[in-house]
Amino acid sequence: MEQYFVLVVDDEMEIRDAIEIYLKNEGITVLKAKDGIEALEILNEHQVHLIILDVMMPRLDGISATYKIREKKNIPIIILSAKSEDTDKILGLQVGADDYVTKPFNPMELVARVKSQLRRYVTFGTFEGVKKVINLNGLTLDQEAKEMTVHGEPVKLTPIEYKIVELLMTNAGRVFSINEIYERVWNEPGYNAENTVAVHIRKIREKIEIDAKNPRYLKVVWGIGYKMEK
């Protein structure tokens, strides 16, 4: 069985310790930090497969820490936020988080989300019966290396972004509804998924399109969903 290391970053010791108890019960090793600066130091010294990151912290908050982490690493990040407003969730997703959980949270829901993200991080890019390398109008997706290039230039995708791109590229020309994208990528019912999917689509466009506002590859089909142009 593979050993996973999860970094829990929260300025409240009780929350760090509580999350550790639940994750340890799943055989997951937990590293802990009390703020974003300490988290960055741990990331430089230890292997980490996933980060649980609180938004409101001293010295370096969760949003700023996520931005800095994404400059070098693509490991999954789950944002913890005491606020339930969509704007806070969207901000976390915009800077590179893969998922979010609102405080107070159900510990078992958090554990389920952690396990889901770990599965995607370790195995993302595995769809049965598809080619190992997909070429599409200058876009190249190497499913074995889990890498993407645009006209030969490498593009860094988060695990969630990769899954969305892979889904659309392996089914080029087919339109997927927002709910269907969410269900296929997050493996959860796609209720109220519009903002979450839209943020990730926007981030992908910024990375693969010359003009994100007039996309050549990742197209919206109004009232239906999104597709990758053949």
Per-residue pLDDT of 59-111, as tens digits, reads 998 889 998 998 888 889 999 987 666 676 777 788 888 898 888 889 999 99
pLDDT at 14: 95
Whole-number Å distance between alpha carbons of 159 and 165? 10
Q: Answer whether residue 53 shows pLDDT above 50.
A: yes
Strands (E) located in 36-146: 50-54, 77-81, 99-102, 133-136, 139-142
Kindly state the DSSP code that residue 140 receives in the 8-state scheme: E
pLDDT at 85: 63
For the residues 209-215, what does the mean pLDDT come to? Answer: 90
Q: Tell me the three state secondary structure of residue 2.
A: coil
pLDDT at 2: 64
Read off φ and ψ for residue 167, nearest 5 degrees: -60, -45
Residue length, the chain?
230
pLDDT at 84: 65
pLDDT at 118: 87
Q: Which residues are bridge partners to 219 per DSSP?
A: 227
Q: What share of the chain is helix, strand, coil (3-state, %, to 5)?
A: 40, 20, 40
- The distance of Cα 171 from the centroid of its chain, to the nearest Å, equals 21
Q: Tell me the three state secondary structure of residue 136.
A: strand
Q: Which residues of 111-148 are buried (b: 16+ CB within 10 A; e: fewer)?
A: bebbebbbebbeebbeeeeeeeebebeebbbebeebbb
- Domains detected in the chain: 5-123 (3.40.50.2300), 133-228 (1.10.10.10)
126 pLDDT tier (thresholds 50, 70, 90): very low
pLDDT at 86: 66
Q: Which residue has the higher pLDDT, 223 or 130?
A: 223
126 and 35 Cβ atoms separated by less than 8 Å: no
149 and 140 Cβ atoms separated by less than 8 Å: yes
pLDDT at 7: 97
15 and 39 Cβ atoms separated by less than 8 Å: no
Q: Which residues are bridge partners to 153 per DSSP?
A: 150
Q: Answer whether residue 11 shows pLDDT above 90.
A: yes
The CA-to-CA distance between both ends of the chain, in Å, stands at 40
Q: Tell me the three state secondary structure of residue 99.
A: strand
Whole-number Å distance between alpha carbons of 134 and 200? 21
Per-residue pLDDT of 26-49, as tens digits, reads 999 999 999 999 999 999 888 899
Per-residue pLDDT of 129-162, as tens digits, reads 334 788 888 899 888 778 899 988 999 999 899 9
Read off φ and ψ for residue 5, nearest 5 degrees: -115, 125
Per-residue pLDDT of 183-203, as tens digits, reads 889 888 777 788 889 999 999
pLDDT at 109: 92
pLDDT at 130: 38
